[in-house]
Structure 1
C-alpha cells in the first residue's frame, strides 16, 4: 500500500512537471507552434512518458486549460464569498479579487489561447467556461440566493452575470486587445461603480436595499 501511494505521488509530480513545461511552451509558441517534441525537450525524459500521461496534443492542451483555470480561480475560491451581513463589503472584496485575477498576464494569455483555438477545438472552450467563468457565476449566484436576491421567476445566475459584467466593464476587453491594463486605482473605481450600480437595482424589499445580507447567519 505504501509503495503504491509513493508511486502515485511520483506520478502526480511527474504529470504536474510535464504540465508546467507544456504551459511554458504553449505560452511561448501558441498552439500551432508547440509540439510534443518541444515539450519533451523542455521537460526532459522521453516522448513515451509524455504520451502515457497525455495521449494527444489536444488532450495535453485540455489539461493545460483545466490547470490554468484552476490556478486562475484559486484566489476567488479562497476568498469564498462569505456569509457576512455586509453585502456591499462582500461584493467589493469578491469583485476586486475577480478583476485582479482576470487581468493577470497569464489569465489574459489563457483567454487569447482559448479564443484562438476555439474553432478547431470547441470542447476546450466548454472546459474553460465550465471550470472558469461558469464556476465564478455559480459561486456568486449561491451567495445572492442566500441573501434573498431572488426575483419572481428569475434565477440568481442572471444578476450574478450582470454584476460581473459591470465589474469587467471594458477593462478586460482592452487588456485582451493590448491597449492597456488598468492600474490599481482604475480597478478600484470600476469595482466601486459596479457595486453601487448593482445595489441600486436590488429587488424590492431585498437585502441589497439596506446593504445587508438579510438571510445570512450572524
Structure 2
C-alpha cells in the first residue's frame, strides 16, 4: 500500500512538472525527452514510474481526456442536450487554449514519425476516445430519454467536434482581424452547439 501511494504521488508530481514545461512551450514542443529534462526529472525515474517515455505521453493524454469527457459522464436527466454540449464544448475549448494538450499533440505527431505504434495508441486514448465518449452520450440520451433521434452517433460526434473546431478557428481569425462578431470563446461554443442541435432536429423531422 505504501509503495502504491508513493508511486501515485510520483506520477502526479512528474505529470505536473512536465505539464508546466509543455504549457510554456506549447508552440515549440517537439520531443518529450526535452520537456522531461527541462522539468529536472531523471530518465530513470520516468522508466520506473511509466515504463517508458511513451508511457508518460499516453498517461498524460489519458488524464487530459478524462477531464474533457467529464461533462458527458456527469450529465443529469434535467439537462438538455444543448446544456451538456455547451459545457462539454467549453471544456474542450478551454483545455486546448490553456493546457498542455496542444504540446502533447505536437510531440505525439513527432513521435509517430520516429516510432511505430505510438500514434495509434495516442489516438485511441486522446481524440479517438473523445469522439467515442461523445457518441456514447448521444446514444444514451436518445435511447433513455428520447430527446432526439440519433441514427449514427459516431458520425454526429465527429461532426460536432469538427464544427466546434471550425467555429473556434473562425472566432480566432475574427479576433485577430479586430472583427469581433462573437465576443468570446464561450459565444463561439454556443454558436457551434446551436448549429449542431438545429441540424439534429432537421434530420429527425
Determine if the alignment matches structure 1 residue 98 to structure 2 residue 85: no
Match of residue 58 from structure 2: 62
CA RMSD of aligned residues (A): 3.3
User: What pairs with 1:37-186 in structure 2 (closer than 5 Å)?
Assistant: 37-39=37-39, 41=40, 46-78=42-74, 80=75, 82-84=76-78, 90-104=80-94, 105-106=97-98, 110-111=101-102, 113-114=104-105, 117-118=108-109, 119-120=112-113, 121-123=118-120, 124-148=122-146, 154-166=151-163, 168=164, 170-174=166-170, 182-186=184-188
Match of residue 216 from structure 1: none
Higher helix content, 1 or 2: 2
What is the CA distance between 1:178 and its match in structure 2?
10
Which stretch of structure 1 is more off in the superposition, 191-200 or 175-184?
175-184
Which stretch of structure 1 is more off in the superposition, 174-183 or 19-28?
174-183
State the distance in 1 between where 2:38 and 2:174 align.
Answer: 28
State the distance in 1 between where 2:108 and 2:84 align.
Answer: 30
State the distance in 2 between where 1:6 and 1:54 align.
Answer: 18
Aligned 8 A contact 1:145 1:156 in 2: no
State the distance in 1 between where 2:161 and 2:133 align.
Answer: 12
Question: What is the aligned residue count?
Answer: 185
Match of residue 196 from structure 2: 194
What's the TM-score once normalised by structure 2's chain length? 0.70
Please identify the structure whose Cα radius of gyration is greater.
1
Return closer, same or farther for 1:176/1:116 CA change in 2, 3 Å cut-off: farther
Return closer, same or farther for 1:35/1:186 CA change in 2, 3 Å cut-off: closer
What is the CA distance between 1:12 and its match in structure 2?
0.9
State the distance in 2 between where 1:26 and 1:55 align.
Answer: 20
Q: Structure 1: 5+ residue runs without aligned partners?
A: 205-218
State the distance in 2 between where 1:18 and 1:178 align.
Answer: 38
